[in-house]
């Protein structure tokens, strides 16, 4: 899998992440490449694709759960370094 850009999307609960994921996947040109579930139900989704698609996908997800107050944070890395990817368990080819 080739990582052009990497995005993260973090929520405060598993149910909020599932709702957001439904809307994030409406941006067809992105891939969900991983997730981390931390204590207290915090979920981070990792999204790959082109920079614009990731930004749109994050906006879709944030809008979907905006009324629940469970959106925690998001971040977009235009060209992630291979060591960063290995730290979170992903690989660049």
33-79: per-residue pLDDT in tens? Answer: 989 999 889 999 999 999 999 999 999 999 999 999 999 999 999 98
Question: Of the candidates 83, 38, 35, 82, which has an alpha carbon nearest to the alpha carbon of residue 61?
Answer: 35
Q: Is residue 93 part of a domain?
A: no
In angstroms, the Cα distances linking 36 to 52, 55, 67 are: 23, 20, 23
Distance CA 76, CA 12 (A): 19
Does pLDDT of 1 surpass 60? no
What is residue 84's predicted lDDT score, i.e. its pLDDT? 81
What's the rounded mean pLDDT across residues 18-24?
96
Q: Is residue 44 part of a domain?
A: yes
What's the rounded mean pLDDT across residues 68-92?
85
CATH number of 45's domain: 3.30.70.1710
In angstroms, what is the C-alpha Rg of the chain? 12
Does pLDDT of 92 surpass 70? no
Distance CA 50, CA 78 (A): 8
Give how many domains the chain has, as a whole number: 1
Q: Is residue 92 part of a domain?
A: no
What is residue 27's predicted lDDT score, i.e. its pLDDT? 93
């Amino acid at each position: 899998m080739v990582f052009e850009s990497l995005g993260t999307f973090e929520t405060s609960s598993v149910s909020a992440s599932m709702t957001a994921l439904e809307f994030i996947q409406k941006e067809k040109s992105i891939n969900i490449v991983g997730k981390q579930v931390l204590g207290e139900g915090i979920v981070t989704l990792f999204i790959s694709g082109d920079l614009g698609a990731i930004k749109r996908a994050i906006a879709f997800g944030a809008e979907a759960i905006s009324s629940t107050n469970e959106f925690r944070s998001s971040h977009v890395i235009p060209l992630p370094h291979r060591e960063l990817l290995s730290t979170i368990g992903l690989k660049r080819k």
